[in-house]
């Protein structure tokens, strides 16, 4: 049809990732502008340096963020794939834009633990969204991605390590109490980020041992419309050979599988475990 614009799958992925990064950048800026800076709570990595620069020298955070992260992105080009670096540049640009905007929530409290925890949660959520968009916030996340890629260290844990290098000395500028609050905020952020990343590819593995293997397999295959693996096994005590049924499924599918097995064979032995499964090319996302 004339005038119809066709969007390729690659363009759709770029549009989706770009939108996720903008959303994550917005939440990240709210955490800094509305929870950390108003309560003189620091941060780690480059973001920590932007807050220290603001507290000590009144340098606008968006300028420090743009300059220092630009430098680290150059390093990223050497160790990370170019797609991640370009998405990270997109994230840094939008974070800098949102940091320049006026405060949105105008929130202030004397209970300083509240903004520390709230800021940590928002930071973790924001970085999780940006990572899902295949980007980073540059700074310590570039270094964390390198540690993740070459040493297998969890991204959130590696970030916490690098962030503490900046956060602890910041106590000379923001004071001991606020430095402790900064460490709490960083810990909360790392925990939230690790949990969000661990949910990528999260599924359930179900192992079923039953006397009615053929019937259970046939019904599950018909219901689930997916592959089912049969594993040859032999019981040591009775020396009896039997096939075990092994399935990878979602939580919603599990809710359908369990009552179905109970109905077919109430004496079936079922083991359910949490697993993380993705295609080989996406394996780095679950580390």
Q: Tens of pLDDT along 182-239?
A: 888 888 988 888 788 776 666 788 898 888 888 888 888 888 877 788 888 888 877 8
Alpha-helical runs (H) found in the chain: 9-30, 45-57, 61-79, 82-100, 113-132, 140-151, 155-167, 171-174, 176-198, 213-224, 251-264
| Domain-ending residue, one of 198, 225, 258 | 198
Q: Are strands 202-209 and 229-234 parallel, antiparallel or unpaired?
A: unpaired
Answer whether 68's CB lies under 8 Å from 44's CB.
no
Higher-confidence residue: 140 or 287? 140
Counting Cβ atoms within 10 Å, is residue 219 exposed (0-12), middle (13-18) or buried (19+)? middle
68 pLDDT tier (thresholds 50, 70, 90): confident
The answer to whether residue 103 sits within a structural domain is: yes
Residue 143 confidence (pLDDT) above 80 = no
Residue keyed to tokens 């990223």 = 76
Tell me the mean pLDDT in the region 80-105.
82
- CA-CA distance, 87 to 145, in Å (whole number)? 13
CATH number, residue 250: 3.30.70.120
Rounded CA separation 262/23 (Å): 44
Q: Does the pLDDT of residue 5 top 60, yes or no?
A: no
Name every residue whose Cβ is closer than 8 Å to that of residue 211 and which is 6 or more positions away in sequence: 265, 267, 268
- Which residues, including other chains, have CB under 8 Å from residue 22's CB and lie 6 or more apart? 94
Can you tell me the distance from the alpha carbon of 135 to that of 17, in angstroms, rounded to the nearest whole number?
Answer: 8
Burial class from Cβ neighbours inside 10 Å (0-12, 13-18, 19+) for residue 214 reads exposed
Would you call 202 helix, strand, or coil by DSSP? strand
Q: Which residue has the tokens 């996406």?
A: 282
Helix (H, G, I), strand (E, B) or coil at 138: coil
Cβ atoms of 248 and 275 within 8 Å: the answer is yes
Average pLDDT over the chain, rounded to an integer = 80
The pLDDT of residue 261: 86
Residue 15 lies in a domain: yes
| Residue with token string 């697993």 | 275
111-125 tens-digit pLDDT: 888 888 999 999 999
The pLDDT, as a whole number, for residue 285 is: 52
- Quick one: what percent of the chain has pLDDT higher than 70? 88
Give pLDDT, residue 121: 93
The confidence score (pLDDT) of residue 126 equals: 92
Greatest mean pLDDT among 30-39, 65-74, 270-279 lies in 30-39
Contact 96, 32 (CB under 8 A): no
Domain check: are 91 and 19 in the same one? Answer: yes
Q: Which residues contact residue 250 at a Cβ distance below 8 angstroms, ignoring those fewer than 6 apart?
A: 203, 204
Number of structural domains the chain divides into: 2
- Phi/psi class of residue 276: alpha, beta or left (left: φ > 0; alpha: ψ in -120 to 50)? beta
Residues 36 and 174 in one domain: yes
Residue 138 falls inside a structural domain: yes
Same domain, 100 and 221: no
- Tell me if 1 is assigned to some domain: no
Residues 249 and 116 in one domain: no
pLDDT at 24: 92
Domain around 230: 202-286
């Amino acid at each position: 049809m004339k005038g119809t614009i066709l969007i390729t799958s690659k363009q759709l992925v770029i549009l989706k990732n770009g939108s996720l990064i903008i959303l994550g950048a917005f939440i990240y800026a709210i955490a800094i502008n509305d929870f950390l800076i108003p309560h003189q709570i620091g941060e780690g990595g480059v973001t920590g340096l932007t807050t220290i620069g603001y507290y000590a020298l009144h340098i606008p955070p968006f300028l420090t963020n743009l300059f220092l992260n630009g430098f680290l992105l150059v390093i990223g080009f050497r160790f990370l794939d170019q797609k991640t670096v370009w998405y990270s540049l997109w994230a840094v640009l939008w974070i800098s834009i949102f940091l320049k905007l006026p405060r949105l929530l105008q929130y202030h409290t004397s209970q300083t633990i509240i903004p520390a925890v709230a800021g940590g949660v928002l930071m973790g959520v924001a970085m999780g969204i940006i990572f899902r968009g295949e980007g980073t916030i540059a700074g310590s996340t570039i270094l964390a991605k390198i540690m993740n890629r070459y040493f297998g260290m969890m991204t959130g844990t590696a970030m916490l390590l690098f962030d503490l290098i900046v956060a602890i000395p910041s106590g000379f500028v923001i004071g001991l109490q606020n430095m402790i609050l900064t460490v709490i905020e960083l810990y909360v952020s790392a925990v939230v980020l690790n949990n969000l990343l661990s949910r990528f590819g999260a599924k359930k593995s179900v192992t079923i041992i039953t006397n009615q293997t053929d019937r259970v397999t046939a019904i599950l295959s018909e219901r689930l419309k997916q592959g089912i693996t049969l594993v040859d096994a032999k019981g040591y005590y009775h020396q009896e050979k039997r096939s075990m049924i092994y399935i990878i499924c979602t939580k919603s599918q599990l809710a359908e599988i369990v009552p179905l097995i109970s109905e077919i064979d109430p004496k079936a032995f079922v083991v359910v475990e949490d697993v993380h499964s993705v295609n080989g090319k996406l394996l780095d996302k679950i580390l």
